Amino acid sequence: MLLADRYIARQILLGTLYAIVVLSLVLVMGNLFKQARPLLVEQHAPLGLVLRFVINVLPFSLMFTIPWGFLSAVLLVFGRMSSDNEITSLRVAGLSLWRLSLPVFVIGAVFSGICLWINVNVVPHAKASLTEMIYEQVKRDPRSLLDPGIVQSKFKNQKVFVEAREGDSLVGFHLYQVSNGENGTPVRADAYVHAGKVSLVVDEEKKQLRLKLIDAFIETKQENGLSELAFAGEAEPWLFDFGSDQNKKARSSAMTNGAILRYIDANPDLPQVKKVEFRAEITKRYSFSLACLSFACVAVPLGLKSRRKDTSSGLIVSLIIGTAYFLFTVLADEFETDLGATLVLWAPNVFCVLLGLFLFRRVRFR
């Protein structure tokens, strides 16, 4: 390996690692306070549970921070080398631009392999583990799942509101059983439950949260549109079931590739849109894994155009490219065919390679 290869590789690796640490810290802390604040912060969850949350969120953040950090590092390193005339000196010494870019593509290939392993093997298990953390918090403090003054929508087809707490009980309990439309939005309430006071018990063996309703009022809608009312001093325990597979919403992001394919085969009546969504998740994992190699194609020639007095331009360009690249996943959700979703998910990689070839050709003759 030439001295120039080691020089370029060292700077890119250090810059990438630094960017990954900074970006991952921002994303993890954002997820911590956005998704887990009610359980982990407001309810004073133990430090071990907080650390588990961070560890499980970290692989998901690395899906984005590794390619983004690599892109930023290449832009900044080649921008600095170009402004300091180091690139010109190396080219005068007989090294072509493609040869100077070899360390970038080698490092990009290594990072792409790491991303592939993370996206296919680590991320699905980490997301599945996050759902189990909710039940663990329920076992520790059942009341933490039902914060007073907040409409809770954690439960499938159910909205819950609690007015206040009184010791170990909840006061002013309201529950709405709703039916969802085709787009997943609630369309009507099928049942309404009110209780003056509720006591909570966790059945660890069955993974159930039992709600014993005191001074209960229950209203249910019949098929003919009429309502049926019931009053009880003490009602049968109302169950929130965390263990039943019927009450678990299948999420493609929390399933391995093999599990996704088995789920599709086991559910032949699954809507076509859902099948496309699940298969697109597999395609996304492979296309995202090649982001580092795709970014290497455009980062080198774009970095050469940066100026020393404008080092922030490299960060701005990386934000624009990275944001545009990952926004294509949103477009993929709008397609109802496998071909359309596949083309959209692979389009950013193809575009980056073609644009990189064009930019390399222009820079080479300057």
Query: Per-residue pLDDT tens for 248-258?
Result: 456 788 888 98
Does a structural domain hold residue 66? yes
**Containing structural domain, residue 291:** 3-139+256-364
| pLDDT reading at 112 higher than 80 | yes
Residue 289: its pLDDT value, please? 92
Report residue 137: phi and psi, to 5°. Answer: -70, -35
Query: Do 290 and 326 fall into the same domain?
Result: yes
Round the CA-based radius of gyration of the chain to a whole number and report it.
Answer: 27
Query: Do 165 and 130 fall into the same domain?
Result: no
Query: Do 101 and 221 fall into the same domain?
Result: no
- pTM for the model: 0.72
Segment 46-98, tens digit of pLDDT: 666 677 777 878 888 888 899 989 998 998 898 888 888 888 888 888 888 88
Query: Do 260 and 122 fall into the same domain?
Result: yes
Query: Do 172 and 261 fall into the same domain?
Result: no
Residue 181: its pLDDT value, please? 52
Q: Virtual CA dihedral for 73, 77, 83, 85, nearest 10 degrees?
A: -160
Residue 247: its pLDDT value, please? 42
Picking from 12, 26, 18, the residue whose alpha carbon sits closest to that of residue 110 is: 12
Does a structural domain hold residue 250? no
CA distances from 228 to 215, 231, 238 (A): 17, 11, 18
Does a structural domain hold residue 152? no
Query: Do 85 and 164 fall into the same domain?
Result: no
Query: Do 37 and 106 fall into the same domain?
Result: yes
Spatial distance between the Cα atoms of 284 and 293, rounded to a whole number of angstroms: 15
Segment 302-337, tens digit of pLDDT: 887 755 444 556 567 777 887 888 777 777 777 778
Spatial distance between the Cα atoms of 85 and 99, rounded to a whole number of angstroms: 17
Which of 185, 215, 244 represents a domain boundary (last residue)?
A: 244
- Structurally, how many domains does the chain consist of? 2
Does a structural domain hold residue 150? no
SS (H, E, C) 121-152: HHHHHHHHHHHHHHHHHHHHCHHHHCCCCCCE
User: Higher pLDDT residue, 300 or 185?
Assistant: 300
Segment 88-108, tens digit of pLDDT: 888 888 888 888 899 999 999
Which residues lie closer than 8 Å to 110 by C-beta, 6 or more apart?
A: none
Query: Do 128 and 33 fall into the same domain?
Result: yes
Which of 189, 221, 244 represents a domain boundary (last residue)?
A: 244
Segment 162-173, tens digit of pLDDT: 888 887 788 888
Residue 255: its pLDDT value, please? 86
| pLDDT reading at 37 higher than 80 | no
Segment 13-24, tens digit of pLDDT: 999 999 899 888
Which of 218, 244, 270 represents a domain boundary (last residue)?
A: 244
| pLDDT reading at 203 higher than 50 | yes
Residue 329: its pLDDT value, please? 73
Query: Do 8 and 133 fall into the same domain?
Result: yes
Residue 245: its pLDDT value, please? 46
Spatial distance between the Cα atoms of 138 and 242, rounded to a whole number of angstroms: 10
Does a structural domain hold residue 210? yes
Query: Do 80 and 113 fall into the same domain?
Result: yes
| pLDDT reading at 186 higher than 50 | no
Question: What is the band of 111 on the pLDDT scale with cuts at 50, 70, 90?
Answer: very high
Does a structural domain hold residue 151? no
